[in-house]
Amino acid sequence: MSNPIDAKPATGVVGGGGDAAEVEKAPQTAHIDNSADLDEKAKLAEYKAGAIEAENVELNMGVLQAVRQYPMATFWAFVMSTTIIMESYCVFLMGAFVAMDQFKTDYGVTAEDGSRQIESSWQSALQASGPVGALIGVCIAGPITSRIGYRWATISGLMLLNAFIFVFFFAQSMPIMFLSQILEGIPWGIFIANAPAYCSEIVPIKLRAPATQMLQMFWAIGSIIVGGVCYVYEGKSDPSSYRIPIALQWMFPTPLAILLFIAPESPWWLVRKGRLEEAAVSIRRLGRASHVNPEESVAMMRRTIELEKNEKEPNYVELFRGTDLYRTLIVCGVYAAQNLTGNLIANQAVYFFRRKFSLSI
């Protein structure tokens, strides 16, 4: 019996050329598929190696070295943090007003000792209105920033603040002032949420702690500015004693909005949106070209984001479950410590000192 494999070429000479061509094509097709798989695996390995290399470079970098290699990242983090100075100025301003003689004359009531004082109910309302608006701002900051980015979310907040300052400046009654503080609080909440997040995303790992710690320093700077401004204008015997400090709020939003317009967007946000080329450009703007490898940095960000995507879709309920509950308690404890030390009472320190002095006399 003849072998069918041996017989096929013989018949192929007469008319079986098509079958022979199919036999020859099969191994060639399999070889192409294997090459594609090998190329894909090689690219994946190279991508992971670049991501790990970028992580190791940041981890082994010192603080001063990070500042030298990422000078513009340090500068833009400083610019974003300046929004906290503006917020602190606005927050402490109302606490200073309740101790101003002219403000008490215009909006206060006559106390038992014959002096003019702001009613305690209105003092509490005015102090609470700003934080209420800030709570709203913090809640909406996340979805807005996720959609349009840190820069445009913060710029939008600055422009809203410009508009809401008009309400405060032209207010002629306590209810309107109360409303204006709630409205101003909304952009404050956006700044509270975006400033630390943006700073931590644009600077290397070694600078994240110093960049976020600057925020508390800027908060103190804002309160010092309020003290100086109110000290200068408090002696005036007309409404300009408190109108001018209100108007000085306008010196912050527009210049900051211009600076943030030319600032680079967070490369992490750009990578999350799949805009990898723009993320590489942003990284080049943040660091020195001779020391920064944008491709490796983007690869590191992609790797981290892909690892996060493998986890369950996050929601607010997860903040109170398992290990995340401990993290939530730690963060809440840190922020609560600022107010538990008497920060809120310090907002009205001038009022209490003046009342104590007048009663002692």
pLDDT of residue 7: 42
pLDDT tens for the 361 residues of the chain, in order: 444 444 444 444 444 444 544 444 444 444 444 444 544 444 555 556 655 666 666 666 777 887 888 889 989 999 998 998 888 888 888 888 888 888 988 998 888 877 788 888 898 888 889 889 999 999 999 999 999 999 999 999 999 999 999 999 999 999 999 999 999 999 999 999 999 999 989 988 888 888 888 888 888 888 889 889 988 998 888 999 999 999 999 998 999 999 999 999 999 999 999 999 999 999 899 887 667 778 878 888 888 888 777 666 667 788 888 888 999 999 888 878 877 777 666 666 666 666 655 555 4
pLDDT of residue 111: 80
Q: Where are the domains of the chain?
A: 59-288, 316-361
Rounded Cα distance, 147 and 111, in Å: 52
Rounded Cα distance, 298 and 294, in Å: 6
pLDDT of residue 51: 59
Q: Would you say domain 59-288 falls under CATH 1.20.1250.20?
A: yes
pLDDT of residue 214: 82
Contact (Cβ atoms closer than 8 angstroms) between residue 192 and residue 140: no
| Whether pTM exceeds 0.85 | no
- Model confidence over 264-311: pLDDT tens digits? 999 999 999 999 999 999 989 988 766 777 887 888 888 888 877 766
b/e map 72-108, b = 16+ CB within 10 Å:
ebbebbebbbbbbbbbbbbbbbbbbbbbbbbbbeebb
pLDDT of residue 169: 94
Contact (Cβ atoms closer than 8 angstroms) between residue 77 and residue 198: yes
